[in-house]
Structure 1
Amino acid sequence: MGRLDGKVALITGAGSGVGRAAAAIFAREGARVTGVSRTAAALEETGALLRQNGHDFGHSAQDISLAPGAEAAMAAVLAQHGRIDILLNAAGVGYSWQRQSPGSMEDVAATDPAKWDEVMRINLTSCYLMSRLAVQQMRRQGGGGALVHVASVSGFRGLPRAHAYCAAKAGMINLSNAMSCAYVAEGIRSNVVAPGYIATGMVESLLEGFDDPAQARQMSPMQRPGRPEEIAAGCLFLASDEASYCSGSVLVIDGGMTAMQG
């Protein structure tokens, strides 16, 4: 307990999945948390979860894939807490986005340019916009801070579909690498968590494969999907001072999937 005592954390994607789990574990470890999501109702659900455990939770419903939304999100955390020490970029869309936005999770040949731009904006541009603002504010505070980005093992492995998603997650990984080189001398660390199959709505349609024992063995040596809390634990480590010698790191949390598949 208390691994983030005195820290202020801004968590994007805090309305569900890994972002919600991270909000809970960060608050439990002493951070003052502001959550961001596009949906106010989802943030209220996260807030109710934290408050029933005795934690405060500030939030702001914004579309951070656009500059005005990102700026409003940063303004919210500064209004609530006066500073930012940790930025967790957990916002994004995955396979489930195909239901809401048909054609967004296809191969390159089948992906309309507007759908490509949409996925890249939500999954990668939001990371750029929020990281840019966080670094600027951390500098105003005198330097120091942690940037943590939730990418995917699909950022360094090919998939037959979801090419915009794969490209965005690869971009997130290399953007983090570049930021780690640029800002680590100022005490600002940048690191990535790369999940495999995690039991969230983003990959709901793929999780059915774990119902088949033979297919489950191919998907992960552990033969189960990960839990959002297991990814949040990795985010907690990279956000904490325990990771003081980590910058430009990619922490893979995938149940051994990439080790098995090479």
Structure 2
Amino acid sequence: MARLNNKVALITGAGTGVGRACMEIFAKEGAKVVGVSRTQSNLDEALAAVTDAGGEGIVVAADLATPEGAQKAVEATLAAYGRIDVLVNSAGVGYSYQDNHPGTMDDVVNTTPEAWREVLAINLDSGFHMCRLVIPEMQKAGGGSIVNVTSISGYQGLPGAHTYTAAKAGMINLTRSLCVAYAKDGIRANAIAPGFIATRMVESFLPMFEDAAVAESITPMSRPGTPEEMAYGCLYLASDEAGYCNGSILTIDGGTTARQ
């Protein structure tokens, strides 16, 4: 229970889903966690779960789609703990975002330039802003681990959600490029590529799994994954156990892409 003992982990998208699961599990494994999200109430719930379990951390409400938001998150982490050993880029939006932002999960023809930029800013620019600020801190410290949360949609063709798939593909190749550029500094960059995960992003689709035939057509395991299962993948990549793992994309999808 100490795979991240004494490490400082900065986790984005920490209010819900995979980011929140990372925050709780990393804290149980000994990390001091800093959770970042746009919604303070979600962050407060996540931090309460951490502290109730005996962990240590802080939260920062910030919009990471902007350079200013990323700066706020990094400065707060350094002020609290003095360094950043692990960065998990889990901030992002998915299909549920379209409920209040129509047109953001459509195909190219039906996506406005404004919607394109909006989703890219949240799902891809946020990772860029965070890496740009965190990598120099890791260089000063002699190393670190970056874990990006992408999606199997980053290497699949889909009939819709083209901005989302483009952003996830961009994050996959950003991960590989970070590996090539910064391995000499002791910085590892890896990613997980989740399949269909039971989070708020896709909750309107979850009833599909109630039909056994439909569920099996989605994934051989016939069920969605859990945020905790994704977080354990992030934990491995963040930990010293993955010391020779660099530039890897860990697919965690119940076998969905094995059929391709």
Do residues 187 (structure 1) and 186 (structure 2) align? yes
Distance 1:61 1:83 in 2: 19
Instruction: Tell me the matched-pair count.
Output: 260
Please state whether the residue corresponding to 1:84 is helix, strand or coil: coil
- Displacement of 1:48: 1.0
**Which ranges of structure 2 fall in alignment gaps of 5 or more residues?**
none
Partner of 1:232: 231
Pairwise CA RMSD of aligned residues?
0.7
- Displacement of 1:162: 0.3
2:214 partner letter? Q
Partner of 2:111: 111
Distance 2:235 2:79 in 1: 24
Distance 1:133 1:122 in 2: 17
- Displacement of 1:140: 2.2
Partner of 2:168: 169
Distance 1:231 1:214 in 2: 25
Q: TM-score, normalised by structure 1?
A: 0.98
Please state whether the residue corresponding to 2:95 is helix, strand or coil: coil
Please state whether the residue corresponding to 1:57 is helix, strand or coil: strand
**Which ranges of structure 1 fall in alignment gaps of 5 or more residues?**
none
Deviations 1:157-178 (A, max 9, x none): 0111100000000000000000
- Displacement of 1:207: 1.9
Do residues 159 (structure 1) and 158 (structure 2) align? yes
1:162 partner letter? A
Do the aligned partners of 1:8 and 1:32 also contact (CA within 8 Å) in 2? Answer: yes
Distance 2:57 2:100 in 1: 29
Give runs of aligned pairs for residues 62-211 of structure 1, distance below 5 A: 62-141=62-141, 143-211=142-210
Distance 1:165 1:138 in 2: 29
Partner of 1:3: 3
Please state whether the residue corresponding to 2:133 is helix, strand or coil: helix
Do the aligned partners of 1:148 and 1:191 also contact (CA within 8 Å) in 2? Answer: yes
Q: TM-score, normalised by structure 2?
A: 0.99
Deviations 1:124-165 (A, max 9, x none): 000000011110111122x20000000000000011110000
Distance 2:137 2:99 in 1: 37
1:101 partner letter? H
Please state whether the residue corresponding to 1:147 is helix, strand or coil: strand
Deviations 1:53-100 (A, max 9, x none): 111220100001100000000001101101000000011000000012
2:75 partner letter? A
Distance 1:174 1:208 in 2: 33
Distance 1:252 1:208 in 2: 24
Distance 1:139 1:147 in 2: 12
Please state whether the residue corresponding to 1:206 is helix, strand or coil: helix
Do the aligned partners of 1:38 and 1:63 also contact (CA within 8 Å) in 2? Answer: yes
Deviations 1:37-56 (A, max 9, x none): 00111100001111111112
Distance 2:240 2:121 in 1: 31
Percent identity of paired positions between Structure 1 and Structure 2: 56
Deviations 1:211-237 (A, max 9, x none): 111110110100000000000000000
Distance 2:98 2:204 in 1: 10
Do the aligned partners of 1:36 and 1:61 also contact (CA within 8 Å) in 2? Answer: yes
Do the aligned partners of 1:43 and 1:61 also contact (CA within 8 Å) in 2? Answer: yes
- Displacement of 1:15: 0.3
Deviations 1:5-57 (A, max 9, x none): 11100000000000010001100000000000001111000011111111122
Distance 2:107 2:37 in 1: 27
Please state whether the residue corresponding to 1:96 is helix, strand or coil: helix
Please state whether the residue corresponding to 1:22 is helix, strand or coil: helix
